[in-house]
Amino acid sequence: MHPAAARFIATLLAALTITGFSTRAHCTDTVSPPSVPAGRIVQLDRFPSQFVAPHNIDVWLPPGYPKQAPYAVLYMFDGQNLFGPREPGKTPSWRAAATAAKLIAAGKTRPFIIVGIWNAQSLRMSEYFPQKPWEALTAKQRRTLFSQELGTFQILPVAPYSDAFLEFVTQELKPAITRRFAVDPKPEATFVMGSSMGGLIAWYALAEYPNVFGGAACLSTHWPGPYLSLDAKTDDPAPDAFVDYIRQHFPSPAGHKIYFDHGTRTLDAYYAPIQQRVDRVLEAKGWTGTHFESRVFPGAEHSEKYWGARLAIPLTFLLAPH
């Protein structure tokens, strides 16, 4: 295969991952809970909201639940890709249940549950793009981002509405989880995690709701926004908007943790320069030591296979035993 063709196919495959296309059903469809090797899944089908369209929710409960109550809670984005076996022809699973169960059993983390929030499929980019940085852009810059396409698909289909999505998570979903499950609702026991665009919404959730979330883990954060590549010739206003927002609005590290990482292949190859800018901003704001971690995984690609392989690292960072 010609090298240029191979690069195009690799970018296309990564783009399909970023935009949340999956062979599983749409987030508003009813499906059977995924099978897990440890613990069990409680599925909340079509969880209603006054802020956004209904979302399916997969709640993973560890073995022995509720004997170790109260449990910490990890809210994870792109929830339809977290659990279940890795099946040919389907988006790879993070196999999050197996990793989490092993860490809890070994005492490497406190007992916790995982709340997997399914994404909005074709609207995923708009739901996960941090809204206040978007609103800080000029009209011309917004038009530039709206113009990005993958074939005939507009990557950013509507204006970002992540503020409404986070209202759903914090005002509707979290209270329901607290009522139904044996969990600790305090910020020091409540965390968020996501990858790619899910990494963007994870740090944005911590910044917007520091009194709700005690920490965030952002794997392969897609700093280019709707762009599927990034080089010196790319006129992409999103990274500057993200960095400026973090500089001006990120909370104090006291009582909080944040984790970033990225690989060096496929889409992750574009992230290092922007991540380094973010790291410097956070360090200047006092994010050091046990509050902040930023890692690079040489050779790692932009996919669930690689995120799942290193999942134990951010889990132990966020959920270390007291």
Alpha carbon 175 to its chain's center = 20
- Residue 309 CB burial class (10 angstroms; 0-12, 13-18, ≥19): middle
Q: With 80 as the cut, is the pLDDT of residue 17 above it?
A: no
> 267-295 pLDDT, tens per residue?
999 999 999 999 999 999 999 999 999 99
The CATH number of whichever domain residue 101 belongs to comes to: 3.40.50.1820
Its domain, for residue 218, covers: 3-318
Rounded average pLDDT over 86-96: 76
**DSSP-derived secondary structure for 78-138:** SGGGSSS---TTSPPP--HHHHHHHHHHTTSS--EEEEEE---GGGHHHHHS-HHHHHTS-
Predicted confidence band at 90 (pLDDT cuts at 50, 70, 90)?
low
Q: Provide the 10 A C-beta neighbour count for residue 64.
A: 12
For position 156, what pLDDT does the model report? 92
> 101-145 pLDDT, tens per residue?
999 999 999 999 999 999 999 999 999 999 999 999 999 999 999
> What is the enclosing helix (H) or strand (E) of 15?
helix 3-18
Rounded average pLDDT over 12-40: 59
The overall average pLDDT reported for the chain is: 90
Please give the structure tokens belonging to residue 12: 């296309």
> 144-202 pLDDT, tens per residue?
999 988 888 889 999 999 999 999 999 999 999 999 999 999 999 999 999 999 999 99
Rounded average pLDDT over 25-40: 72
Task: Determine the Cα–Cα distance for residues 224 and 274; give it in Å rounded to an integer.
Answer: 9
Give the chain's domain count: 1
Predicted confidence band at 26 (pLDDT cuts at 50, 70, 90)?
very low
Query: Which range scores top for mean pLDDT: 87-91, 200-204, 223-227?
Result: 200-204
φ, ψ for residue 112, nearest 5 deg: -150, 160
Task: Determine the Cα–Cα distance for residues 232 and 296; give it in Å rounded to an integer.
Answer: 21
Q: How far apart are the first and last CA of the chain?
A: 53
